[in-house]
Chains A and B, each alone.
Chain A
Amino acid sequence: MVSKLITFHFTEYKRSKVTIVGVGQVGMACAISILQSNIADDVTLIDVMEEKVKGEVMDLQHGSLFLKTSKITAAKDYSDTANSRLCIITAGVRQKEGESRLNLVQRNVEVFKNIIPNLTKYSPNSILLVVSNPVDILTYVAWKLSGFPSHRVLGSGTNLDSARFRFLMGEKLKINSTSVHGYIIGEHGDSSVPVWSGANVAGVNLQSINPEMEQQDPDGWKEIHKKVVDSAYEVIKLKGYTSWAIGLSVSSLTQSILKNLRTVNPVSTLVKDMHGITENVFLSLPCILGSPGVCGVLRQPLQQRESEQLRKSAATLWSIQKDLKL
């Protein structure tokens, strides 16, 4: 009947394929965000849990009527991920009770040793976007294991921290978060750096209005950064994990890369030789993202205190990285 109904002319070709490694809550939130924003024409999911991947992909495929992504695939092995433009890595092990950070990292290195070479084998020209934590270290690990030039390996870094930062500042000022501008840079996590000197609304620098912003600050601005840092823990305590916000943030980065938008986003990139950093580490700085990956890094003027913090983070990361068996 098919041949009676339709005369086929062309075969298909793919241009914007995204592979997502890991179908846990974060991976699936990334998947649904990317699908609902219509930015890829092929989304492939892969995980060691085969049944789960199959089930998730089936569920997504059943929503095809409402989506505009023609191909959603459950990879049986890495060959199905071939020719991806972007590979998003959300897989990894979680910290066990009382586990040292170094130990967690080494365990994740073993997981990445399985994932990264396989991804790069089948998509040698792709861009790698690392989401798994600790993201800055794991982005370094992905870079080392892939052998890719550094502009093609980035970490989701403080993109989400900055989004939370803008949300909280927006709530405080009763303005939409998209109209409040502010960057959190550096290490994703407890020692991230809020660049108060850049926080502004319509170009009006907030610090110029309240120079005490970071210090005594009766206004309660300093606590905003603390709230950002605590965010993940708070949400995890309440619902067990975080998913929606990170999914949306990754989808936003994906859009910039696939559509060559050249937007500026704080993502984890190789920062050696920036802000006086001498180690081969990845930290978040405002980067221009496009089809080649990280097209450029903004030379953001930082205060003494801020660049010191970056250098301190770099030293901490390096002390862990140097002992890793890669």
Chain B
Amino acid sequence: MVKYDDLSKKEEGEQHGEGEEMASVHEKLISPVADCAPEQPRNKVTVVGVGQVGMACAFSILSGNYADELALVDVLEDKLEGEMMDLLHGSVFLKTRKIVANKDYSVTANSRIVVVTAGARQQEGESRLNLVQRNVNIFKHIIPQIVKYSPNCVLIVVSNPVDILTYITWKLSGLPKHRVIGSGCNLDSARFRYMMAEKLGIHASSFHGWILGEHGDSSVPVWSGANVAGVCLKSLNPNVGTDKDQENWKDVHKQVVDSAYKIIELKGYTNWAIGLSVADIIESLVKNLGRVHPVSTMVKNKYGINEEVFLSLPCVLNSCGVASVINVTLADDEVAKLRKSAETLWNIQKDLKDV
């Protein structure tokens, strides 16, 4: 499928051919020194699914120079090849030499990170359980193949409903829980920080605030931790985030929850922000940074949760995956919300077939 190999193969054909006068430009131009056998990639990243989200992830990964090899996988062969070609044509402007694509998972071999964006979208009137079951069937095809070719990888699940699909991925992969991460509330928190920062007239990176728990409608904004330069908003306004708050800061969280729906309504899908946020996670993983991100991880035995569910908590990410979790002191109502989410997720997960 990688057509550009043809070009150099033609050269090699000539090398074993006739005589001096047929020596190729390649041979005349270049004197080999080292015997450069193809090396194993050190930071290979695979993106499964070349829809809008997958390609935005791919592009952000390339822009950030995090991978020495990028592999794309999908079932739509033409789209896959077209996307790969379009990226390759930008090589002069990039610093990732190897970009490959194939519907066969062998192309993903030896990946350090695999990002899963593939999956079915909710159809009109479809129940969540039904959507999840459909996605289980898709993941049953994808996950074992990923693990077969990259048994040591860290898996990042982006497809929705992300917390459930991260659980499914963990079950289907057989990987230890520190190597299966859901993009979770990383984007919600980024949106939160952006929106709060706008209101305060500062840059998003200088506003610190965490949204945890279930990605979606029941996410939990941890107002007690929201701060700028260590100054807790709650110390300035004890009602911040509550219904009693005259300044109605709580509305910002609502805007975060509504974000995706709003953008989908306006442009049909979201991709840029999620792509940037996934690349941000990958940066911590490949560079072994040990930065803390709100991502979906296995939370059994935390906050009184007894079920095997994945929810977003602040996780320290380094090259092994989730190295550790920060123990955030949550208010009673925040803990209650997490436990309720766990219960809801488990109610769906327990009825899934073949996981």
- Residues of A bordering B, CB below 8 Å: 1-2, 4-6, 8, 28, 32-33, 36-37, 51-52, 54-56, 58-67, 70, 160, 163-164, 166-168, 170-178, 201, 204, 206, 209-210, 213, 218-221, 224, 231, 234-240, 242-245, 247-249, 251-252
1/0 per residue, CB under 8 A from A, across B73-92: the answer is 00000110111011111111
Enumerate chain B residues within 8 angstroms of A2, measured Cβ to Cβ.
Answer: 199-201
Which of A51, A209, A252 lies in contact with B267, CB distance below 8 A? A51
Pick from B22, B92, B205, B264 the residue with the most CB of A within 10 Å: B92
User: Beta-carbon contacts of B16-40 to A below 8 Å, as 1s and 0s?
Assistant: 0000001011101110000000000
CB distance from A157 to the nearest CB of B (A): 15
Can you list 23 A-B pairs, Cβ within 8 angstroms, ordered by A?
Answer: A32-B59, A55-B263, A55-B267, A56-B272, A58-B262, A59-B273, A63-B273, A64-B204, A65-B204, A65-B276, A65-B280, A66-B277, A66-B280, A67-B276, A174-B8, A177-B92, A219-B11, A224-B7, A234-B82, A235-B89, A237-B78, A245-B86, A252-B93
The secondary-structure label for the interface of chain A is helix
Contact (A63, B89) CB under 8 Å given A4-B236, A51-B266, A176-B97: no
B25 touching A219, Cβ below 8 Å = yes
- A163: chain B residues at CB < 8 Å are 89-93
Q: Closest approach, in angstroms, between the C-beta of A125 and any C-beta of chain B?
A: 28
Given contact pairs A164-B89, A220-B7, A221-B25, A55 touches B266 in the complex (Cβ within 8 A): yes
Query: B8–A171 contact, CB under 8 A?
Result: yes
Q: Contacts A63-B277, A176-B97, A239-B78 given: A5-B265 contact, CB under 8 Å?
A: no
B145 proximal to A (CB < 8 A): no
CA gap between A219 and B60 in the complex, in Å:
36
For residue B190, CB closer than 8 A to chain A, the reply is yes
User: How many Å from the CB of B204 to the closest CB on chain A?
Assistant: 4
A239 touches B92 (CB 8 A): no
Rounded to whole angstroms, the CA-CA distance of A170 and B79 in the bound complex is 24
Contact indicator B259/A6 (Cβ below 8 Å): no
Contact A167 B92 (CB under 8 A): yes
Write the nearest CB–CB distance from A243 to chain B, whole angstroms: 6
How many A-B pairs fall under 8 Å by CB? 205
B203 contacts the other chain (Cβ, under 8 Å)?
A: yes
Query: What residues on B are CB-neighbors of A244 within 8 Å?
Result: 55, 59, 83, 86-87, 89-90
B335 CB-CB contact with A under 8 Å: no
Interfacial chain A residues near B158, Cβ < 8 Å: none
CA distance A163 to B85 in the complex (A): 13
Q: Which of B14, B93, B247, B268 is within 8 Å of A248, CB to CB?
A: B93
Question: When A and B form their complex, which 6 residue pairs have the shortest distance between CB atoms, in order from nearest?
Answer: A55-B266, A239-B82, A238-B82, A55-B267, A245-B89, A62-B273
CB distance B236 to A62 under 8 Å?
no
Range of interface residues on B (Cβ < 8 Å): 35 or more
In the complex, are the beta carbons of A1 and B259 less than 8 A apart?
Answer: no
A6 to B11, CA, bound (A): 66
**Chain B contact surface mostly:** helix
CB < 8 Å neighbour of B190 from A65, A70, A231:
A65
* B191 on interface, CB distance cutoff 8 Å: yes
- Interface digits, B197-222 against A, CB 8 Å rule (1 contact, 0 not)? 10111111100000000000000000
Set of chain A residues within 8 Å of B331, measured between Cβ atoms: none
- Considering only residues 48-90 of chain B, those with a C-beta below 8 Å from chain A are 55-56, 59-60, 63-64, 78-79, 81-83, 85-90
Assuming A58-B266, A172-B8, A245-B90, what are 9 further A-B pairs, CB within 8 angstroms? A1-B236, A32-B272, A61-B273, A164-B89, A167-B89, A210-B25, A218-B14, A238-B79, A238-B81
* Residue ID in chain B nearest A176 by CB atoms: B97
